[in-house]
C-alpha cells in the first residue's frame, strides 16, 4: 500500500531458525515469504558483533554462541556468501567487522583492515551471477579511515556500497559528518546504502547527502513501545488523549492504517 520496493531479511536469525537449508528447500526467500519484489539480506555480521560476550573474532571469521540455545557456530566470509546465495536474495552483503563507536583509532583500524580482507574473500567466494554483492565501508568516526575504506573497497568493483558502523550511539553530528565524508568517495552510478538508519528525519538527512537505501528496526521497535510517527512528529499512543478518540493516527495521512483505524 505504501509502495515498498524491497525488504530486508536477516541472515543471522534465518541461519539459527528455521535454518538456511529449510528456506532453500522451500524455494528461497521469495517463495518462503510470498514476496515477488526485491529482497536484501545482510551477512549477519552486525547481529554477531552485538553479542559482545558471546563471540570471538579472528582473521578466519567469527565464532559465536547462539542467543537461542547457546550452541557454538563459526561464520566466515565464505560461509556468509554461501548462506546468502542459498537464501536467494537479490542483494547480498559482505561480512564485516563492526567496531563500537567509541573504540580507539587503533582498534577501529584493525577492524577496517579485517573488513577489507573479508570483502575480498566474499568477492572470491561468490558463485551466483544473479545477485548483487555490496561491500561495507567501515572506519568508525575517523574521517581518515572512512576515506581509506571507501577508496579501497571501490577499487575492488562491487555492485554497491554500504556505510556500516554508524547510528550505534555516536552523536548525530558525527553520523552526518561520516556520511558526508564517505558518500563523496563512492560511485554515483552505484547504490549507496546507509545501514541502521530509519527515523523520518534521518532518512531526509541521508537522502540530501546522496543515500539511496536505508534499513532499520526502528519503526517496529517504536511501534512495540506504543509510539508512532506523524507529519507533526512522534506521538505516544499511551497518552490519555488517545483512549477515547475516533480520529485517525494522522488526519493528514492517507495510508491504510490511518484510513481504516482510529488512534
Please confirm, yes or no, whether 215 is among the known catalytic residues.
yes
Contact 121, 78 (CB under 8 A): yes
Neighbours of 133 (CB within 10 A): 20
Closest CA to 186 of 146, 233, 243: 146
Closest CA to 136 of 124, 125, 126, 146: 146
Give the orientation angle of helix 143-154 with respect to helix 172-183, to 10 degrees: 40
DSSP code of residue 169: S
Residue in 90, 202, 215, 254 annotated catalytic: 215
Query: b vs e for 38-70, b when ≥16 Cβ sit within 10 Å of the residue's Cβ?
Result: ebbbbbbbbbbbeeeeebeeeeebbbbeeeeee
Compute the distance between CA of residue 46 and CA of residue 6 in angstroms, rounded to an integer: 20
Residue in 1, 36, 42, 96 annotated catalytic: 42
> Which residues carry out catalysis?
42, 215
Amino acid at each position: 500500500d505504501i509502495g515498498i520496493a524491497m525488504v530486508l531479511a536477516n541472515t543471522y536469525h534465518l541461519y539459527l531458525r528455521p535454518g538456511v537449508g529449510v528456506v532453500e528447500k522451500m524455494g528461497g526467500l521469495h517463495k518462503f515469504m510470498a514476496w515477488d519484489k526485491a529482497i536484501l539480506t545482510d551477512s549477519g555480521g552486525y547481529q554477531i558483533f552485538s553479542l559482545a560476550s558471546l563471540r570471538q573474532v579472528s582473521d578466519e571469521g567469527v565464532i559465536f554462541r547462539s542467543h537461542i540455545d547457546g550452541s557454538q557456530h563459526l561464520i566466515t566470509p565464505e560461509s556468509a556468501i554461501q548462506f546468502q546465495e542459498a537464501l536467494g536474495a537479490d542483494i547480498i552483503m559482505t561480512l564485516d567487522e563492526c567496531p563500537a563507536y567509541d573504540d580507539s583509532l587503533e582498534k577501529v583500524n584493525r577492524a577496517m583492515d579485517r573488513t577489507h580482507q573479508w570483502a575480498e574473500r566474499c568477492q572470491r567466494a561468490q558463485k551466483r551471477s544473479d545477485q548483487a554483492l555490496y561491500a561495507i565501508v567501515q572506519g568508525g568516526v575517523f574521517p581518515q579511515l572512512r576515506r581509506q575504506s571507501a577508496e579501497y573497497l571501490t577499487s575492488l568493483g562491487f555492485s554497491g556500497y554500504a556505510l556500516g558502523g554508524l547510528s550505534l550511539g555516536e552523536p548525530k553530528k558525527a553520523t552526518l559528518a561520516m556520511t558526508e565524508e564517505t558518500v563523496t568517495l563512492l560511485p554515483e552510478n552505484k547504490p549507496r546504502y546507509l545501514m541502521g538508519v530509519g527515523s523520518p528525519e534521518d532518512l531526509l538527512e541521508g537522502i540530501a547527502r546522496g543515500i539511496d537505501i536505508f534499513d532499520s528496526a526502528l519503526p517496529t521497535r517504536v511501534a512495540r513501545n506504543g509510539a508512532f510517527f506523524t507529519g507533526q512528529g512522534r506521538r505516544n499512543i499511551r497518552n490519555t488523549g488517545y483512549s477515547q478518540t475516533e480520529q485517525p493516527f494522522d488526519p493528514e495521512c492517507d495510508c491504510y492504517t490511518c484510513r481504516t483505524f482510529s488512534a
